[in-house]
Structure 1
């Protein structure tokens, strides 16, 4: 190890403190730190830091006068589009799936820290009757979609699943899929790759040591995708497989429709090289970014970047002018991704995230600060909108397609409970649309969205005495009732309906199973024991 040269290089960039504990390290620790520092492109990361913090010093003006909504002809909506047209979009998307032209790419670099677990969020079980994890639900939706495309066009196109993990989530994710036999997917169609990591900095530009022999590093944001596509040869794999279109999404949305054929068909009908699926903002001050144009350039503008007056602005029909709430659900052509990766990625700005970063004190002790002490640099996946020639926006119903899992139970929103109930509600509507009815123990239809007072047991009723969820008569081998769910109190599960993605991708194919039948909860609809031909 040429420690003298390393010291000189660090000192030249004001980072000599990274070797302050060198003399007390073990030989193994010295090797680890030396290799990490030698592999670090110091000039590049310091250039990132200087460029990123310089943007913080620029005067941040509101964007109101420079903003305009996405043109109406490029802002479609599932609620304002004739059914025949939606069916056309769906047929186009299914055709591309059957041709093997579609891939899905999952952004799964985050651990479940806010959920209170130390494993990848995709492995989380939100306590559905089936106990399926997010990964399993998504895998089964892919299988079902392949089946639908083959059924429609007679060709079995496979959908490769690319999963971008981080340093902390790659191995657990790969082990998890292997232990579960890839949930029925072909092993070669699961491509797991790792996003990049960047050092964390103090506010005065010094790289932080997490331990005497270890740099504090963090994933480079979901926008690190584009660099990873190149460095991990993922784009090359897509081209080898003949993938023309890629659906990119985040792991934490329990209702996500991977490779949604309607969304793909819509984007193709607009000749878009880039697409964003959005939900209508619930109210003007909802803290979500909106997809719009600034100075004619597509981008996502955060609520904090505009004034209240602009956030409240409405069209003549009463809808918010800037209503396209971003949900990190995107369409890209591989040709567009190729241009981004090789022509634009290096020019994309990092964003600053001020964080509480664990570090080692000058005395060599580990310390977790109680307030932000440094920055992490990250890029966002939607930063590439600015490079699109044509961006198409497709608005969907929030209750049908967006229920993120971010916080542990007890938080105000985005918890395992809210996700579980969102899926139950969606599947209840699938049941009703197919002609089935969900009834209570008295035979009365259950309300579609239970009232708050229906979910609360009076204080005078003890938990043990609270009414239980009724059980279903198991008359059809395709219907099962999970015994463990029989003890769930009805104030916790007024509606419990879970339909396996292997049975239905988006509510289709249920008529012959449920039409003109009544069911009580908890209800699970699963496929026959035989394997579905995909």
Structure 2
């Protein structure tokens, strides 16, 4: 076995991975051997030369322009009629079972000070429902509302897959049918030292990390999920990330516009709060839609303004998409996914030549990731719809401050308060107009404003004076 592995690694200068091979027992040898055999060494060698041993320059197309989008509110009667037609089409697709949900949930809750998969973090302000439960109940209500149960595809990682599945089993899948909760595992990429050498995370294991949310598409194929969707005649996937409980798990208007515009991949956009907000920028070049990362867009473009003073590049991406199943099938037809890679310099623990685990204090290696938004320019047709960030975007990335647990809970409370007030319920407000009490409506009972109005009518709810959880 050793010689076979050595012969595989030697042409690429990676035989250091076998440094401790003869010290390992049979099970450990088999574990390391399986990881090495799974490597696409010719491709890895190319990536190391292109992304690690040099920094690939960031090139901005000369013809880069702000992307066009459907506005939050229709601008005239014709567009209003188109929106109504689209909303009806989206609802029909849901009723026909043509839509499934797709959530990227491979991360841990480390930045939240939480030990476990991020989706198991208790986010709801009063009930303390976890992110996973919040989404599950939203999907259950959507299935009831539109007359067809939704299947939920959840991409986990090697690190958290077992814990995630055990969490769902422990909680009886939060009321969903187990067969409608489908887990699949994200691919991995080995960490590479600045010298181009693959790192060992342990004597019997490479240092592996998730390959980025772009890997979702290839993982869907390799796991058999695309085949299942085709057999069940699912045509569209509603994609969102696990850290954003405010998102509409299925959005009839977005789905309908996507279908009517013959789009292969569509996106929600938010109007940026300023030129340097940390959202990717929707742009076009040579007739294709691109997302340029906020750190890559030149300052002159980021700060450019229209005649009315508004930002030219105003469309920011919150990572909410609709994708055609057929588009994913086309992109992964040969078992590969030709998306560009992105370099991330990281502090990666590794086993040194003496067999000791080193935990560096400075970045020492490169992790390569692919991003799902890089599929946009590969689509024949795309579409963008503006959304209200108060209704769609409350990322939970930090414990406090911007994009935090605190801000997310505040936004959930504010959204539910708006729904109640729109339904005619009186709430105490602060002088700034914010709710002076905490309110939370179970997503199992209320999916949208229409649901909220019906809920309040049926319960003759007219006023809330104190912190209240409604279910």
1:386 aligns with 2:386: no
1:423 aligns with 2:368: no
1:502 aligns with 2:447: no
Correspondence for 2:470: 525
Change in Cα spacing, 1:90 to 1:39, as seen in structure 2 (3 Å) is same
Q: Which of 207, 232, 237 is the matching residue for 2:223?
A: 232
CA shift at 1:250, angstroms? 0.7
How many Å separate the matches in 2 of 1:99 and 1:59?
Answer: 47
After superposition, residues 409-488 of structure 1 pair within 5 angstroms as 409=400, 412-439=401-428, 445-446=429-430, 449-450=433-434
How many Å separate the matches in 1 of 2:360 and 2:303?
Answer: 38
CA shift at 1:191, angstroms? 0.9
Q: Which runs of 5+ in 1 are unaligned?
A: 151-156, 440-444, 451-492, 527-534
CA shift at 1:6, angstroms? 1.9
Change in Cα spacing, 1:340 to 1:38, as seen in structure 2 (3 Å) is closer
How many Å separate the matches in 2 of 1:196 and 1:367?
Answer: 25
Q: Deviations over 1:65-120 (max 9, x none)?
A: 3211223xxx1122345766544332221111110101111111111121122311
| Conserved? CA contact 1:201–1:376, under 8 Å | yes
Secondary structure of 2:320 counterpart: strand
CA shift at 1:352, angstroms? 1.1
Correspondence for 1:219: 210
| Conserved? CA contact 2:52–2:196, under 8 Å | no
Secondary structure of 1:293 counterpart: strand
Correspondence for 2:27: 28
1:126 aligns with 2:115: no
Larger displacement relative to structure 2 (177-186 or 25-34): 25-34
1:325 aligns with 2:316: yes
Q: Deviations over 1:415-467 (max 9, x none)?
A: 1111111100100100110000112xxxxx445754xxxxxxxxxxxxxxxxx
| Conserved? CA contact 2:214–2:369, under 8 Å | yes
After superposition, residues 396-415 of structure 1 pair within 5 angstroms as 396-409=387-400, 412-415=401-404
After superposition, residues 214-363 of structure 1 pair within 5 angstroms as 214-342=205-333, 345-363=336-354
Correspondence for 2:73: 79
How many Å separate the matches in 1 of 2:335 and 2:284?
Answer: 19
Q: Deviations over 1:203-243 (max 9, x none)?
A: 12100011122110011100001211221111111101100
1:60 aligns with 2:5: no
CA shift at 1:174, angstroms? 1.1
Aligned length: 465
Q: Which runs of 5+ in 2 are unaligned?
A: none
Change in Cα spacing, 1:95 to 1:447, as seen in structure 2 (3 Å) is farther
Change in Cα spacing, 1:338 to 1:35, as seen in structure 2 (3 Å) is closer
How many Å separate the matches in 2 of 1:519 and 1:414?
Answer: 28
CA shift at 1:293, angstroms? 0.8
Correspondence for 1:45: 44
CA shift at 1:24, angstroms? 3.1
CA shift at 1:41, angstroms? 3.2
Change in Cα spacing, 1:500 to 1:416, as seen in structure 2 (3 Å) is same
| Conserved? CA contact 2:214–2:339, under 8 Å | no
| Conserved? CA contact 1:277–1:396, under 8 Å | yes
CA shift at 1:414, angstroms? 1.5
1:96 aligns with 2:96: no
Taking only aligned residues, the RMSD between alpha carbons, in angstroms, comes to 2.1
How many Å separate the matches in 2 of 1:386 and 1:355?
Answer: 28
Change in Cα spacing, 1:41 to 1:434, as seen in structure 2 (3 Å) is same
- When Rg is computed on C-alpha atoms for both structures, the one with the higher figure is 1
| Conserved? CA contact 2:138–2:443, under 8 Å | yes
How many Å separate the matches in 1 of 2:51 and 2:56?
Answer: 11
CA shift at 1:130, angstroms? 1.1
How many Å separate the matches in 2 of 1:341 and 1:495?
Answer: 50
CA shift at 1:313, angstroms? 1.7
Secondary structure of 2:70 counterpart: strand
Q: Deviations over 1:148-177 (max 9, x none)?
A: 112xxxxxx221111111101211111111
| Conserved? CA contact 2:214–2:370, under 8 Å | yes
TM-score w.r.t. the length of structure 1 is 0.83
| Conserved? CA contact 1:126–1:417, under 8 Å | no
Secondary structure of 1:325 counterpart: strand
CA shift at 1:513, angstroms? 4.5
How many Å separate the matches in 1 of 2:250 and 2:452?
Answer: 21
CA shift at 1:350, angstroms? 1.4
Larger displacement relative to structure 2 (38-47 or 199-208): 38-47
Correspondence for 1:153: none
| Conserved? CA contact 1:94–1:148, under 8 Å | no
| Conserved? CA contact 1:229–1:341, under 8 Å | no
